[in-house]
């Protein structure tokens, strides 16, 4: 299943040049993730887990190693638009009002605009993820109400990864939902919120999601940082 994913295309460079570019890019991601973390105490950690989850799903869809690596790098940028959302809304312990919800939904457009202004194929892909990760298969998502395969594959992968993480991690407005229950919720949204093929892959191969969530929960209980930056070796995505 390849969908309409468009891999980054880059002119050939030396290995050394590529290493320098990759390090600079990862440094940019780290800085932006830290910036988001200042506003939303959960976003920084969430960005890192998203990289793991999306890379694993991308692997199961049959994308190439280079395409998966691109997704691993751009996934942490999906929520970067929350930098432009007031902290009072991001960290509100109760349900958002209609007006607050409209403001919150702007994070997709803000993130896309931030990333779109940089001349980089990877950051253009990151912009696509930021813009489309809240679209729904049935066309009832935001900001553009895209539907079905009209949603880029990276957006469809991000949608499931984002919801799974939101369900299984504590948020200002909710407590943790058990992992098995979170998986049932996602399966129930097949052909509604989520791409049916990606949902089936998630259901069939959900164990790495269980392991990552359990690791994060246990680390948080011990007062430790539950995440490290995503590694780029294939075996770090498969379990």
In a domain, 5, yes or no: no
User: What pLDDT score was predicted for residue 229?
Assistant: 41
* Overall number of domains in the chain: 1
In a domain, 10, yes or no: no
In a domain, 8, yes or no: no
User: What pLDDT score was predicted for residue 36?
Assistant: 64
In a domain, 112, yes or no: yes
In a domain, 58, yes or no: yes
Check: CB of residue 154 under 8 Å from CB of residue 8. no
3-state secondary structure of 75: helix
Q: Within 10 A of 205 (CB to CB), how many other CB atoms are there?
A: 15
In a domain, 106, yes or no: yes
- d(C-alpha 84, C-alpha 36), whole Å: 9
User: What pLDDT score was predicted for residue 226?
Assistant: 44
Check: CB of residue 168 under 8 Å from CB of residue 183. no
pTM for this prediction: 0.78
- d(C-alpha 166, C-alpha 150), whole Å: 24
In a domain, 4, yes or no: no
User: What pLDDT score was predicted for residue 139?
Assistant: 98
Q: How far is CA 76 from the centre of its chain?
A: 6
Q: Within 10 A of 37 (CB to CB), how many other CB atoms are there?
A: 16
Computed from CA positions of residues 104, 79, 44, 57, in that sequence, does the dihedral angle turn out positive or negative? positive
Q: Which domain holds residue 204?
A: 15-236
Residue 77: CATH number of its domain: 1.10.3210.10
Of 168, 103, 170, 116, give the one whose Cα is nearest residue 142: 103
| pLDDT by 10-residue block (mean), the chain, 239 residues | 60 69 67 64 69 91 93 86 89 92 96 80 88 98 98 97 88 79 94 97 76 52 46 40
In a domain, 210, yes or no: yes
Residue with tokens 């779109």: 116
β-pair partners for 194:
190
Check: CB of residue 135 under 8 Å from CB of residue 162. no
User: What pLDDT score was predicted for residue 231?
Assistant: 42
User: What pLDDT score was predicted for residue 209?
Assistant: 62
Give the Å distances, CA to CA, from 167 to 7, 46, 91, 102. 30, 12, 16, 21
Check: CB of residue 121 under 8 Å from CB of residue 69. no
């Amino acid at each position: 299943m390849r969908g309409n994913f468009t891999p980054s295309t880059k002119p050939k460079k030396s290995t050394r040049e590529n290493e320098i570019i990759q390090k600079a890019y990862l440094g940019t991601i780290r800085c932006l993730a830290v910036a988001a973390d200042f506003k939303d105490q959960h976003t920084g950690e969430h960005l890192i887990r998203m990289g793991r989850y999306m890379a694993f799903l991308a692997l199961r869809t049959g994308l190439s190693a280079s395409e998966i690596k691109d997704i691993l790098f751009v996934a942490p940028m999906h929520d970067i638009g929350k930098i432009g959302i007031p902290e009072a809304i991001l960290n509100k312990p109760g349900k958002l009002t209609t007006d607050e919800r409209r403001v919150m939904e702007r994070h997709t457009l803000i993130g896309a605009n931030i990333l779109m202004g940089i001349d980089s194929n990877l950051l253009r892909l990151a912009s696509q993820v930021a813009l489309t990760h809240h679209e729904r298969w049935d066309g009832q998502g935001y900001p553009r109400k895209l539907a079905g395969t009209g949603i880029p594959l990276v957006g469809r992968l991000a949608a499931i990864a984002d919801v799974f993480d939101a369900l299984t991690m504590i948020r200002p407005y909710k407590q943790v939902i058990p992992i098995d229950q979170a998986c049932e919720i996602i399966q129930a949204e097949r052909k509604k919120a989520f791409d049916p093929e990606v949902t089936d892959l998630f259901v069939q191969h959900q164990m790495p999601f269980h392991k990552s969530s359990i690791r994060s929960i246990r680390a948080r209980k011990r007062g430790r940082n539950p995440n490290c930056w995503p590694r780029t070796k294939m075996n770090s995505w498969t379990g």
